[in-house]
Structure 1
Amino acid sequence: MCRWLAYSGAPVLLQDLLYRPEHSLIVQSMHSTLGAEATNGDGFGVGWYGDGDVPGVFRSIEPAWNDRNLSELAAHLHSPRVFAHIRAAIGSPVQQTNCHPFRSGVWLFMHNGYIDGFHAMKRDLAMMVDPAFFSDIEGTTDTEMLFFLARTFGLEEDPQAAMARAVGAVEEAARHHSIAFPVQGTFATTDGETTWAFRYSSEGRSRSLFVSTDVSTLREQHPDNPMLRELSDDARLIVSEPLGGLRGAWREVPESNCILVRGGDLEMSPFEPELAAPVR
């Protein structure tokens, strides 16, 4: 599988976010403790929001622990909203266009998990993508296909409903191919202002997902922790696995739930697939 994190809050140096925690994403690229594989070395990607009209993206097929360009970039970039992903490929080639996060306009999207039977369903799913978006698909992954299905089903208007319809479309296609449990994973998307994260699998046994506790509460519990003093009150992290063992810092996202993070506000609600109307 893969590992990922989504950060929002006051601008943070990417180096502090990706390298500094005791169980950082860079450490997880070599020694994941909750992933299906301990090593996630089939490339990585970072997406961030800055001065441009669209987010910046840096993706590479190098292992995250061994990429000097990532280390150099991370030492100089600050951003208030960051997506980062380390990849363990399943089936699709190791190439830059298959590295997460994926970008379309102001949107970023990433995923840990897989669509079972994707090869058999690929044409069916591709035919559902709005022709206006189809030519923007660059890679060959199930994740990118799901992203553009979500765009097709209204990601810009209602991200949670769009993801419910996209996942529903995959499950409906899977039924025609006798695939019992097609969707597995945790997903995240953002427009630069709000982050949505989803934990869902057709089997009801999703990959791990955690969200950070309110920073002000953590400061009260751990007044001597220097890193907590540097974070803004509205800082939030959503992660595949905790970045450290600080007591009370993380809570697990329940199965079949969606998290919305806007500013310091966090909302959690049930997530279930919907049967989408055909695209015309």
Structure 2
Amino acid sequence: MCRWAAYIGTPVHLDEVVSKPEQSLVAQSVHAFECKTQTNADGFGIAWYDSREEPGLYRDTHPAWSDPNLRSITHQVRSGLFLAHVRASTGTATSRNNCHPFTHGCWSFMHNGQVGGFENFRRRADMMIPDDLYGARKGATDSEALFLIAISEGLFEDPKGAMERAVGKMEALSREFGHTPHMRIGAAFSCGQALYAVRYASDHLAPTVYSSRTADGTGRLVVSEPLHKGECWEAVPAGSICRYTADEAVIQDFVPQT
């Protein structure tokens, strides 16, 4: 399992989320509290938005706590919308192409969870990615396949429906060719205007997702695990998709479609 954090609001330095809080993402890469794998050392990544449509992207295979470049970049870069992730592999290789977030065009996507038995139907999942998108398939993870399938399902025009269809198709493959748990997803994604989060599972163990307004009220944090003990964190209900801006949160039911 992995840990991730996302922010939308007034621009802040990335280290306000990635390394400064008492239970920051870097701290969670060493010792996370709300997942089975306490150490998340199989790489990290950050996607951030600024003045261009496509996000900046920095990923590497080092543990987040040991990379001085990560600390330097997050100390200097400011953004009003960014996604950050530390990885604990569920079976695929530790490589830069398998590190989250994944990006394509304006979209960025990161995931915590699993698709049961993905190694048994990876080729079938890849065949759901259209030819014009398949060149963007750089790694071997279930997460990247899910992301590209969602893009092919119309993520730009209909983020909720596209993700419901992508998750539904992957869950159906797991039910036919894989094993339990068929689908567990705690994910965040964006195209630079709003931040979306999904929490869903085919069983009763949906990965945790929380949200909180910042102390000054100018931004919102969406995380897999709280960054502070004292802030007011609200758990996103299982079976939900959320759309966040700096000022608004809209929560809807998430129902995978095949």
TM-score range, shorter chain: over 0.9
Paired AA for residue 165 in structure 1: R
Instruction: Give 1:35 deviation, angstroms.
Output: 1.3
Do 2:83 and 2:101's aligned partners in 1 also have CA atoms closer than 8 Å?
Answer: yes
Q: How many residues align?
A: 258
Q: Which runs of 4+ in 1 moved over 4 A?
A: none
Match in the other structure for 2:188: 188
Distance 1:130 1:267, change over 3 A: same
Distance 1:91 1:267, change over 3 A: same
Runs of 5+ unmatched residues, structure 1:
216-227, 276-280
Do 2:29 and 2:39's aligned partners in 1 also have CA atoms closer than 8 Å?
Answer: yes
Do 1:210 and 1:252's aligned partners in 2 also have CA atoms closer than 8 Å?
Answer: yes
Structure 1, residues 98-147: CA drift from partner, whole Å, max 9, x if none?
00000000000000011111111111111111211111110011100000
Structure 2 distance, partners of 1:177, 1:16, is 43
Question: Is 1:268 the counterpart of 2:251 in the alignment?
Answer: yes
Do 1:234 and 1:265's aligned partners in 2 also have CA atoms closer than 8 Å?
Answer: no
Aligned-CA RMSD value = 1.2
Structure 1 distance, partners of 2:47, 2:250, is 23
Match in the other structure for 1:240: 224
Q: What SS class does the counterpart of residue 150 from structure 1 fall into?
A: helix
Structure 2 distance, partners of 1:12, 1:118, is 37
Instruction: Give 1:180 deviation, angstroms.
Output: 4.4
Structure 2 distance, partners of 1:183, 1:84, is 22
Structure 2 distance, partners of 1:26, 1:12, is 17
Range that drifts further, 259-268 or 80-89:
259-268
Question: Is 1:179 the counterpart of 2:162 in the alignment?
Answer: no
Identity %: 37
Structure 2 distance, partners of 1:126, 1:82, is 28
Do 2:8 and 2:221's aligned partners in 1 also have CA atoms closer than 8 Å?
Answer: yes
Given the alignment, which residue of 235, 238, 243 partners 1:255?
238
Structure 1 distance, partners of 2:220, 2:72, is 25
Do 1:204 and 1:256's aligned partners in 2 also have CA atoms closer than 8 Å?
Answer: no
Q: Within 5 Å, which residues of 2 pair with 1:75-224?
A: 75-177=75-177, 179-212=179-212, 214-215=213-214
Structure 1 distance, partners of 2:156, 2:112, is 22
Paired AA for residue 173 in structure 2: A
Structure 2 distance, partners of 1:69, 1:178, is 39
Runs of 5+ unmatched residues, structure 2:
none
Structure 2 distance, partners of 1:65, 1:265, is 33
Structure 1, residues 233-270: CA drift from partner, whole Å, max 9, x if none?
340111011001115x1011111111110231001111
Structure with the greater alpha carbon radius of gyration: 1
Distance 1:124 1:69, change over 3 A: same
**Alignment TM-score, normalising by the size of structure 2:** 0.97
Structure 1, residues 60-87: CA drift from partner, whole Å, max 9, x if none?
1000001000011111100000100000
Structure 1 distance, partners of 2:41, 2:13, is 23
Distance 1:52 1:178, change over 3 A: closer
Q: What SS class does the counterpart of residue 41 from structure 1 fall into?
A: coil
Instruction: Give 1:199 deviation, angstroms.
Output: 0.4
Distance 1:76 1:270, change over 3 A: same
